[in-house]
Amino acid sequence: MDLTRRVIVALDFDTAEDAEAVVDRLGDAVQSYKIGLQLLTATGPSLVTALAAAGKGVFLDLKLFEIPTSVAAAVRAAGRRGATMVTVHASAGSSILRAAVRAAAEFPRLRVVALTVVTSLTDADLAEVGVAATTGEQTARLALLARDAGCHGVVAAPHDAATLRGLLGPDPLIVTPGVTLPVHPAATDHARPAHPADAFRAGASHVVIGRALTRAPDPAAVLAAIAEELRISGGAVTRPAGRRTDSASR
């Protein structure tokens, strides 16, 4: 499998210089990067444009949750910057998801992925805000809502990947943050983590790795360890079959 595009490295930094240093260090070993609210707020969107111009995939993790008009405008702005993925909260509802999908259609490479349940949340956290379902139940419900609204895929915890692949079929993207790396452990805010090899075997199309890789003494060794884990296990990875998955990572 081509880990260079299916591993998305999260550039969770406060400065463009720190983010660019990681990109330079990883070189051709990584072709997809996530830019989230931290870096975007600190430095603006110029790095999105620069990465896209360099041929990298850019997962712009905006977690949009607004009125349909505003969400559509933000998605178009992401497309003009060259992003290849953008996130919208599935809990925002189908009208907002559809608005995002319609806006993304203007940009052939842009994919809308719906955030199901934030990976830091537990069943107790959902109950606190009035959601009676478990995280797994809510994830499945929102994933089906996103599919029916035309989204290209979902973001979910690794432990939900197998269930979602069974629900959604082979084509949609399943992007899984919240992975752990025993070779280079790092503190995590994710309540439901898993090893990236396990996420791939369960049906994830992409995994997102942040500090465990970017703060490691040798980030390239982290990627090599993941590849070796897959090799040892026989490479039993569920590979999405549709064109959408392939184009979203380019």
Core vs surface per residue 62-92: b (16+ CB within 10 A) or e: bebbbebeebbebbbbbbebbbbbbbbbbbb
Asked whether the beta carbons of 71 and 115 are under 8 A apart, the reply is no
First-to-last C-alpha distance (Å) of the chain: 15
Helices (H) then strands (E): counts for the chain: 13, 8
What's the burial of 28, exposed, middle or buried (CB within 10 Å: 0-12/13-18/19+)?
A: exposed
Pull the structure tokens for residue 219. 């980030």
Active site residue 34: no
Q: Which helix (H) or strand (E) holds 113?
A: strand 111-115
- Tell me the C-alpha to C-alpha distance, in Å, between residue 80 and each of 53, 56, 87, 108: 12, 15, 15, 11
C-alpha–C-alpha distance, residues 191 and 52, integer Å: 32
C-alpha–C-alpha distance, residues 111 and 175, integer Å: 12
Active-site residue, selected from the candidate residues 3, 4, 49, 63: 63
C-alpha–C-alpha distance, residues 122 and 29, integer Å: 34
Active site residues: 63
